[in-house]
Amino acid sequence: MSADNKNDNMVVTPWEVKGDIDYGTLVQRFGTQPLTEELKERIAKHAGFMHMQLRRNVYFSHRDLDWWLNEYDAGRPVGLYTGRGPSGGVHLGHLLPWFFCAYLQKAYNAKLYFQMTDDEKFLHREDLTLDETIAYSYDNALDVIACGVQPELTHIFSDTDHIGHIYKLGLQVSKRITMSTVKAVFGFTDSDNIGLTWYPALQAMTCFLQSYREGRNVACLIPAAIDQDPYWRMTRDIAEKMGYTKPTQIHNKFLPPLTQGGKMSASQPESAIFTTDVPEKAAKKVMAAFTGGRETIKLQKELGGRPEVCNIYAYYYYLFEEDDAKLIEVEQQCKCGALVCGDCKARLAKMVKAFLVDFQTKRDKAKDNLADYLIK
């Protein structure tokens, strides 16, 4: 068996994530750099504390983050960019980079450009109308706001409704990207609609939007899961030709689905917790989730559980158990068979309910001041 065989079933593209994800292999395959302790410490120093996702290596890879930090240290402006393809409700995985953006925004006093790609989702999905994807843009914006971003530093925009702010720059970008590039990078074929082949210019454009609007170069950092990386490889190739600096990235891992295999998806509602789920219903999904437990309680007590393959443990690890000592306790109790899956799930279900109650209050409040966060 070759070293790579274990990853043969791994697919990570902007439209599909499946198989056993090996993050070390992705760093090699995508040609990114592993996130070092030194870089994590630099961010922690600026922020006043190390974010849980940094501490636990949920952020694991980057491109030129060191340069972005150097720019900040040299007193030059830095900015943030991330986005969402509004195809339905937001699940907890989507929130990871958005919470992280709120943390970085505060630490660096950085503007955040947040792109709602209602055009992309309309072009990509047979089952969605344009009115639906646009409506999701504004609905999903409430989730972004509930993550704690600041109104005076945040510019959320819909590709369709706010096209006047972005079209000229989008054209500049699209003139420098050839059909053969988008075919090679995204695998488009002659049977794809032409809208899809133009769309990458718009996702690339936002890397330069702050610089374009301010008439000066602003170092751009993109926090997102690594599935979006092909866009940035393409954008980095044209940046300097356009007189802009290359966008930099920090990549997060994927929060796994609650079900075994596959991905979190709106078409399989039991696979994910959505921010608008009724808390009781979300708790039931947790109780029905896949775990790393043994077939029987007797076996669990004898052999212990397997947190390393357990999705419930992943939820504690990525989001819900902030206290490192308590996380280690869960892991050890599981491994020695003292903690059985039912009790472990019940503990998480309680945390998920409390989280949703709080998040949904913030989400509701966001409805009153959504306009303050939109691009002007």
Residues that bind ligand TYM (CB under 6 A): 14, 81-85, 93-94, 96-97, 115, 117, 120, 203, 206, 222, 224-225, 227-228, 252, 254-255, 264
Residue 333: closest CA among 296, 293, 295: 293
Nearer Cβ to ligand TYM, position 81 or 108?
81
SS3 per-residue string spanning the chain: CCCCHHHCCCEECCCCEECCCCHHHHHHHHCCEECCHHHHHHHHHHHCCCCHHHHCCCEEEEECHHHHHHHHHCCCCEEEEEEECCCCCCEHHHHHHHHHHHHHHHHHCCEEEEEECHHHHHHHCCCCCHHHHHHHHHHHHHHHHHCCCCHHHEEEEECCCCHHHHHHHHHHHHCCCCHHHHHHHHCCCCCCCHHHHHHHHHHHHHHHHHHHHHCCCCEEEEEEEHHHHHHHHHHHHHHHHHCCCCCEEEEECCCCCCCCCCCCECCEHHHCCECCCCHHHHHHHHHCCCCCCCCCHHHHHHHCCCHHHCHHHHHHHHHHCCCHHHHHHHHHHHHCCCCCHHHHHHHHHHHHHHHHHHHHHHHHHHHHHHHHHECC
- Measured at the CA of 135, the angle between CA 131 and CA 136, to 5 degrees, comes to 120
Q: Alpha carbon of 145 to those of 46, 154, 362: distances in Å?
A: 23, 9, 8
Nearer Cβ to ligand TYM, position 96 or 149?
96
Alpha-carbon dihedral of residues 333, 336, 342, 343, nearest 10 degrees? Answer: -30
Structure tokens at 136: 């999701």
Which residue number places its CB atom closest to ligand TYM? Answer: 85
Q: Residue 257 Cβ, how far from ligand TYM at the closest point, in Å? A: 8
Nearer Cβ to ligand TYM, position 53 or 300?
53
Nearer Cβ to ligand TYM, position 162 or 294?
162
* 50: Cα within 13 Å, side-chain hemisphere: 16
* 179: Cα within 13 Å, side-chain hemisphere: 6
Nearer Cβ to ligand TYM, position 202 or 339?
202
Q: Residue 141 Cβ, how far from ligand TYM at the closest point, in Å? A: 13
Q: Residue 92 Cβ, how far from ligand TYM at the closest point, in Å? A: 8
Nearer Cβ to ligand TYM, position 95 or 339?
95
Structure tokens at 353: 């309910």
Q: Residue 365 Cβ, how far from ligand TYM at the closest point, in Å? A: 22
Q: Residue 361 Cβ, how far from ligand TYM at the closest point, in Å? A: 23
Q: Residue 342 Cβ, how far from ligand TYM at the closest point, in Å? A: 25
Q: Residue 216 Cβ, how far from ligand TYM at the closest point, in Å? A: 22
Nearer Cβ to ligand TYM, position 224 or 258?
224
Q: Residue 26 Cβ, how far from ligand TYM at the closest point, in Å? A: 13
Q: Residue 272 Cβ, how far from ligand TYM at the closest point, in Å? A: 8
Nearer Cβ to ligand TYM, position 137 or 300?
137
Nearer Cβ to ligand TYM, position 14 or 337?
14
Nearer Cβ to ligand TYM, position 120 or 139?
120
Q: Residue 97 Cβ, how far from ligand TYM at the closest point, in Å? A: 5
